[in-house]
Structure 1
Amino acid sequence: MRRIMLAGTQSGSGKTTITCAVLQKLVNDGYDVSSFKCGPDYIDPMFHGRVIGTRARNLDSCFCDSNTLNTILYKNKGNISVIEGVMGYYDGAGASGSSWEIACQTATPVILIIDCKGMGQSIGAVMKGFLTFRNPSRIAGFIFNRLPESMVPEAERLCEEMQTAYFGRFPYIKEAQLESRHLGLVTAEEIKDIQKKLALLADAAARYLCMDKIVKIAEQAERPAFQMVMPQPVVHGGRVRIGIARDEAFCFWYEDNLELLRELGCEIVPFSPLWDTHMPDGLDGLILPGGYPELYADKLSANKGFRQELLELLKSEIPTIAECGGFLYLQKSLEDKNGIVYDMVGFLESDGYRTDKLQRFGYVSLKALSDNMLCQKGQTLVAHEFHYWDSTDCGAGFMAEKLSRSLQYACVVADDRLYAGFPHLYFYGNRDAACRFVKCCDVYRKKGNSGAAERRE
C-alpha cells in the first residue's frame, strides 16, 4: 500500500496548504487518492473529501489502538494514501496522539515540512533536531516552505549532509491561501474561488515539489504487522434506521462513525434541520452532530414546523446522540455570534450562549456516574471537546477528566435514551458504546415506535 505522511515542525508550518496541493496534484494525475488526518479534526477530512474528491478519514491514536488504526488505513486505501499530520510532528496529548506515534504504528514514511521564513543556517539545526529527537524518526526527507529560491542549493546540501531527501520547496501564494476559523479551515462552501485556489496549489506542487520522488517514497512503505478489526452486526431481522443531521449547520461528523454503524446493521438517513420541512419517516435513532448552529440560528429557529416534529420525536424517547452543536440545538434557546437569542427545539431546559474564549479543548475520559444508553455506571468513554459556546446546564451524567492534565468536571445529559453534551465521540474508539446505541435503537424499532409520519397525519 503506497502511503506517505506530510507532517510539520509546528502548527502553522504550512502542512494543510501543502497537503491540499499534493492531494489535488495526485487527483489531477489520475490517482485514486485516499487522505487521512491525524487527530480528531473534522474539517480537514471534510475539505479533502468534498472539494478535492479523496476518500477521507481520521487516524487518532488517542482514540484507537494500533490494530484499529491500521484497519481504518487499509479499509479505506486508494492506490496512494496521504496522511496529514497534526500540530508539531512530536506533539500530542501528553505522550500519545502525535503524528510521530501514528507514523510508527502504521509504518509510514514521513516528509517533514519546515516553515523557513526568517531562517538561514538555523534550518539545518531544525532538521537535525527532528531527525534525532526520536529513534526511529521515520522522517524520509523535507519540504521547505517559504524558502527563497536562492537558498535551494543550501537546502539540498543540508539534506545530503544529513543523508535525507530533498522533496522541494513551496512558495507563499497569496491568491491560494485557505481561510480559517477557530476550528481550523472554514467549510468548503464558505471559501471563495475554492477551485481556483486548488488549481493554483496543484500547479505549485507540479512546479516546486518533487512529485515523482514523493510517489516513489510512498511506494517504499512497508506493511505493518496488525490484525484486522472486523465488527459484526448486532441487529437482525431488518436494519435499524438512524437519522443524522447533515447540512451547513451540522457538518462535524466522522465518516468512520457512520461506516461502523452500517457494519453493525444500520441504515443512515440524512436530514437537514435547516432546509427540510419534515423529519424523515421510520427512524429508530437520531444523531445530531456538531457544527456551527450559532451561524445559522436565525434559519434554524425559523423552521418551526421541523423543530416541532423533532421535539415530538424526542418525546417518544427515540435513542439520541447530540454532540456539541447538536446539543445546543436541543436547548430552549441559542445566542448567535451577534448576541441575538433565538428559540431552538426546547427539549432540554437549558440555554446556549456565546463566550469570548475557548471553553474546553482536548481529549477527555468520560466516567459514567450512572447507567445510561451508552455505558454502565463506572465505565468510561474517550472523547474530544472544542467549543467557544457554552450552556447554562452542561449535564451531570458523566465526570470528565482531561487526559493531558489533572482537571475534572461534570458534563453530558445522559439517561437510557439520550447522550447530549459537548464531548464528541469517535465510535471506533468506543465500539461497545456504539453497539449499545444500535441495540437501543433496535429495541425502539421493535416496539413499533419508529417513524415521524404518524405524527404528521
Structure 2
Amino acid sequence: MNKSKRVKRIMIAGTGSGCGKTTVTCGILKALVRKNLKVASFKCGPDYIDPMFHSKIIGTKSRNLDSFLCGDNTTKYLFAKNGAEADFSIVEGVMGLYDGLGSKSTKYSSCDLSLLTDTPTVLVVNPAGTYISVAAIVKGYLDFAPNNIKGIILNGTSEMMYNTYKDIIEDLCNVKVYGFLPKLPAAEIGSRHLGLVTAEEIEDLDLRLNLLADAVDKYIDIEGLLKLGENTPELEYEDIKVEKRGSCTIGVAMDNAFCFYYEDALKLLEEMGATLKYFSPLKDKKLPEKIDGLYLGGGYPELYAKELSENKSMLKAVKSAIESGIPTIAECGGFMYLQKSIKDKDGNEFEMVNIIDSTSQLTNKLSRFGYTTLTALNNNLLFQAGEQVNAHEFHYSDSDLCGEDFLAVKPITGRKWHCIHGKITMFAGYPHIHLGGNIKVAQRFINACLSYKEK
C-alpha cells in the first residue's frame, strides 16, 4: 500500500569528517528545542555516536537512515514514521557529502540519501586557510554530481571574515549562505578511536550545547533554514506492516561499555511483542530475571575491560544463560565480551565470558572497515543457509577467531573473508546488522525467544 507523509526537513552535510557538521547540527537542534519546537533528528549512515548527542538534545531518540542496511523503501518509511509528528526534522550527513559505498561510487552517501528523500541540503564548509579559494571549494561540490545543495554554513571562521566569505560565495557560486559558527573551544567535544566520546561521558554537555545554541541564535539564520525545510514534498513509500508475534522478554546490555544500538531495531522488537529489560554488564551483578533472549550490542568494552572482567558474577550469569540455550545476538563489542579475553594495546589481558574460545586485541587501525554483504553458510539463529544481509563493520580490535559461519564480501572490491559464530541459538561477530531493515530476521529472533520461553 502506497502512502505519503509530510516531513518538514533539511540535511546538514559537510565537505568531510572534521569540517564541523556535528557541531553545527547539535547547535541547530538545541536552538530549535529552545524555541519549543518538537524536533526529530536523524543520522545518515550506520554511525551510533552522533545520534546519542542528538537524543540528549531533543529529549527523544534519534534515528539512523541507511539505505544500504535497510533498503530504499524501508529508509523512507522510517523517515516518514519518525518525522511526521515533529515540527521540524534535521538529518546529519556522514563523512563528505559524496562519500558512500567506495572510491568509485556516491551510492549510499549523504547526497544519495538527500536525493532519495528529496531533502534540501545545507553544506558545512570550513574555510580555514582560504580566501577566494573558498568559492572553488563550494563550486566543486555544487558541480561534482547531481545534488540537493540549497545553502552553505561556514564553520570555524570569524565574524569579520564571514561577511567577506559570504559575498564571495554568493556572488561566484549563486548559492545562499545561511550563516557561520566561530571557533568555540569551550563547546568542543572530544574524540577517540571510534569517533566522538559518547554523550553519557560528558558531565557538562548541556553547558556546551547551550554555548553552541547561543552562537547559532546569534550567527545562523534559523528562520531561513526553517523556511527552506517547510516546502519539501511529501515522503512517498510503501507501507510496512509489523505483526505482534507474542510476548517475551529480552535482556539488552546498556551502559558505557555497550551502547551501540539502532533505535528502530529496538522499537521493532517491542512492536513484535518483546519487553526490553536493560541491564549493565559493568555494574549489575546478575541478568534481569525471567528473560527469554539476550542482546549484547556494540560499544567500548576495550575501555572497560578491567571492570567487566572483575564483575565475575555477571560473567558467570551470561555464560550460564547462553549455555542454557537462550537466544543471543552479540554484535562487535558484545562479541568481544563473549570471548575468552580482551587484550589492550599494551598486551594486558582481561578475562571475559569465555563462551567463545578466542581473544580480541585492540590494534592501531580499523579492521575490515565499511559496508559488507553477508551470506549464511549454515542455518542459524537469524538466517537460513544461503540467505544474505547487508552489514557494517567499524572496530579497532581484532579476534583470533572471528567465526566461520558467514562469508563477507565487500560490495565494490569483492574482498572476502569468513566471520560470525552462527549457531542455532547464537549470532555473534563483529558485523552490525539493522533489524529494522530486516523484519524477517527480527521475527526469527522473537520466535526463538518465544520457543525458549515455552521451554
Pairwise same-fold verdict (TM > 0.5): yes
Q: Distance in 2 between matches of 1:162 and 1:356?
A: 41
* In structure 1, distance between residues paired with 2:384 and 2:261: 25
Q: 3-state SS of the aligned residue for 2:63? A: strand
Aligned-partner Cα distance in 1 for 2:20–2:249: 41
Which position in structure 2 is the counterpart of 1:394?
402
Which stretch of structure 1 is more off in the superposition, 42-51 or 151-160?
A: 151-160
Moved more, 414-423 or 347-356: 347-356
Report if the CA contact (8 A) 1:260-1:428 is conserved.
Answer: yes
Stretch deviating more after TM superposition (313-322 or 398-407) = 398-407
* Structure 2 equivalent of residue 21 of structure 1: 27
The yes-or-no answer on 1:297 pairing with 2:305 is yes
2:416 to 383, 408, 415: 408
| Alpha-carbon distance change, 19 to 54 in structure 1, aligned in 2, over 3 angstroms | farther
Q: How many residues align?
A: 443
Distance 2:133 2:241 in 1: 48
CA distance in 2, matches of 1:129, 1:354: 39
Whole-angstrom CA distance in 2 between matches of 1:304 and 1:70: 44
Identify unmatched segments of 5+ residues in structure 2. Answer: 1-6
1:147 aligns with 2:157: yes
What TM-score do the two structures reach when normalised by structure 1? 0.93
For the residue of structure 1 that corresponds to 2:369, the secondary structure is strand
How many angstroms apart in 1 are the aligned matches of 2:22 and 2:332? 25
| 1:129 alignment partner in structure 2 | 140
Conserved in 2, the CA contact under 8 Å of 1:179 and 1:191? no
* 2:378 corresponds to: 370
Match in the other structure for 2:3: none
Match of 1:107 among 108, 118, 137: 118
Determine the C-alpha separation between the residues in 2 that align with 1:291 and 1:59: 20
> Aligned-residue CA RMSD in angstroms?
1.5
Instruction: Decide whether the 8 Å contact of 2:319 with 2:354 is kept in 1.
Output: yes
The answer on 1:347 being equivalent to 2:358 is no
Pairing partner for 2:37 from 11, 31, 38? 31
Q: Counterpart in 2 of 1:326?
A: 334
Distance in 1 between the 2:60 and 2:215 partners?
Answer: 19
Q: 1:199 aligns with which of 205, 210, 220?
A: 210
Aligned CA distance change for structure 1 residues 161 and 356 (closer, same or farther; 3 Å): closer
Change (3 A) 1:223 1:241: same
User: Corresponding residue for 1:430?
Assistant: 438
For residue 451 of structure 1, what is the aligned residue in structure 2?
none
> Matched residue of 1:152: which SS?
helix
Q: Is 2:87 the counterpart of 1:79?
A: yes
Counterpart CA distance in 2 for 1:366 and 1:305 is 34
Residue 173 (structure 1) aligned with residue 184 (structure 2): yes
Distance (Å, rounded) in 2 between the aligned partners of 1:176 and 1:436: 44
Contact residue 294 and residue 337 of structure 1 kept, 8 A: no
Q: Determine helix, strand or coil for the equivalent of 1:168.
A: strand
Contact 1:365-1:400 within 8 A present in 2 as well: yes
TM-score, scaled relative to structure 2:
0.94
Aligned residue for 1:396, secondary structure, equals coil
Give 1:338 deviation, angstroms.
4.5
In the TM superposition, residue 342 of structure 1 has moved relative to its aligned partner by 1.4
- Residue type of the alignment partner of 1:433: V
Identity %: 45
- Partner SS state of residue 436, structure 1: helix
> Could you say which residue in structure 2 is the equivalent of 1:255?
263
- Aligned partner letter, 2:242: P
Gaps of 5+ in 1: 448-457
Give 1:288 deviation, angstroms.
Answer: 0.6
Supply the distance in 2 between the matched residues of 1:303 and 1:171 (Cα, whole angstroms): 45
- Find 2:170's aligned residue among 150, 159, 179: 159
Structure 2 CA distance, aligned partners of 1:44 and 1:440?
32
| 1:46 match | 52
